[in-house]
Amino acid sequence: MTKRLMRTGVVLFDGFELLDVAGPLECLGNLRDQFAVTLVGPVAGAVTSTQGPALVADVGWSDAPGVDLVVVPGGQGTRTLADDPAFCGWLAEWSAAASVVASVCTGAGLLASAGLLDGYRATSNKRSFAWVVGRSAQVEWVPKARWVHDRDRWTSAGVAAGIDMTLALVADLHGEELASGLAERIEYDWHRDAEWDPFAAINGLVDG
Amino acid sequence: MTKRLMRTGVVLFDGFELLDVAGPLECLGNLRDQFAVTLVGPVAGAVTSTQGPALVADVGWSDAPGVDLVVVPGGQGTRTLADDPAFCGWLAEWSAAASVVASVCTGAGLLASAGLLDGYRATSNKRSFAWVVGRSAQVEWVPKARWVHDRDRWTSAGVAAGIDMTLALVADLHGEELASGLAERIEYDWHRDAEWDPFAAINGLVDG
């Protein structure tokens, strides 16, 4: 179990999915002794979500500090960024020094576009699964999973699944008790089973 | 069923609970044909959550436009605001013109302090239930509930419960199909039963 303070960078971009970011941040922001979070946007300042509200980035991508944990959300903005070589190059380089790289939802499409999932098992949002899969043939995509943990990569299914994955990550790093206590504090019905995923069948990815 | 665009005001204050706000906003922000959301903070600009990240308020409280739906979150900042007559007076006056007033978590303590729950049934965060109950003896407090809907008041349990309540509110206003589709889109395991609440027993409010 890791006991040191984990420097954590959460990526923001125009058109990020609000809950993809806010779910993990609710978890990590309540564990200040374990995680020190920096929000990293295109530049420092307000970054607007797909849903409208803006979160404030602490620093711009070019000024991103070294971190131990990278978290990449999904959202409509991924569609442009996944084809942006400058962004994908930066993400690959910045993430290379991290001990854990995680994505929520279509954030997996950004990791895949940056080559960060090559040779890994991974999952993503189930409604946009085809788009994500199309980003890399070097990934073993898992259609039915709430999240996938493969070595130093964690990828979750869509939006709310990021909360389940983050709690599982907390449990993996700091023990089940801390994660359970956090889930109770935020009154969240934590799905502890990574294979629980009714949305794969709802979206026709597996037989119902 | 209401079909018109609902002007929605979400209250921000220093020390709001991030997911109390972001959960409902994820839902309402994905329904732009039904809800037009304004974030209302102490003043326009960045407002810092208990968890660290800041959301950007569109306008200050004194400039708040008239709205149909008011949403008040909880968080550590409620402890100061509940004893602030200027804030509670503003909240009471602003909310008087709304057709629906809702709270998440300890936001019920602010509604109660503003007299907005007098004569209503209501619930709140289960870990801070005693503090919230102490804000008003004129409220019929419900210790075991994921949310309570009593006429034009909706109050949810802690943090993540705000998502369940918001989906139920969407279903009440616009029908079950819209709410179900939204829950599927955000891959959220919606608790449709307002009486589902394991956290009441966990926090000793009812027998387990």
Q: How far apart are CA A103 and CA A49, in angstroms?
A: 16
Q: Which residues of A touch B53 (CB under 8 A)?
A: 21-22, 25, 29, 37, 39, 55-56
The Cα of B200 is separated from the nearest Cα of chain A by a number of Å equal to 10
Beta bridge partners of A101: A70, A153
Nearest to A184 among B21, B50, B199 (CB): B199
Q: Say if CB B126 and CB B200 are below 8 A apart.
A: yes
Nearest to B25 among A18, A127, A157 (CB): A18
Q: Is B54 in contact with A52 (Cβ distance < 8 A)? A: no
The Cα of A99 is separated from the nearest Cα of chain B by a number of Å equal to 23
pLDDT digits (tens, 9 = 90+) for A180-197: 999 999 999 999 999 999
pLDDT digits (tens, 9 = 90+) for B123-167: 999 999 999 999 999 999 999 999 999 999 999 999 999 999 999
Rg of chain A over all Cα atoms, to the nearest angstrom: 16
- Pick from A21, A35, A31: nearest CA to B53: A21
Please give the ipTM for the structure prediction: 0.96
Rg of chain B over all Cα atoms, to the nearest angstrom: 16
Look at the alpha carbons of A68, A37, A166, A84 in this order and tell me if their dihedral is positive or negative: negative
Q: Which residues of B touch A23 (CB under 8 A)?
A: 19, 22
pLDDT digits (tens, 9 = 90+) for B6-29: 999 999 999 999 999 999 999 999
C-alpha distances out from residue A37 to A59, A166, B77, B162, Å? 12, 14, 21, 24
CB pairs under 8 A between A and B: 121
Query: CA angle, B187 as apex, A103 and B203 as ends, to 5°?
Result: 95
Average pLDDT, stretch B80-88? 98
Nearest to A202 among B56, B184, B191 (CB): B184
**Whole-number pLDDT of residue B115:** 98
pTM score, whole prediction: 0.97
Per-residue confidence at B207, pLDDT binned at 50, 70, 90?
Answer: confident
Query: CA angle, A50 as apex, A22 and A20 as ends, to 5°?
Result: 25
C-alpha distances out from residue B22 to A69, A164, B97, B200, Å? 22, 16, 24, 23
Domains of chain A, each with CATH number or no CATH: 6-202 (3.40.50.880)
Binned average pLDDT, 10 residues per bin, chain A of 208 residues: 82 98 98 98 98 98 96 98 98 98 98 98 96 97 98 97 98 97 97 97 90
Q: Is B22 in contact with A23 (Cβ distance < 8 A)? A: yes
3-state SS assignment for residue A1: coil
pLDDT digits (tens, 9 = 90+) for B176-206: 999 999 999 999 999 999 999 999 999 999 9
Decide if B50 touches A, using CB distance below 8 A.
Answer: yes
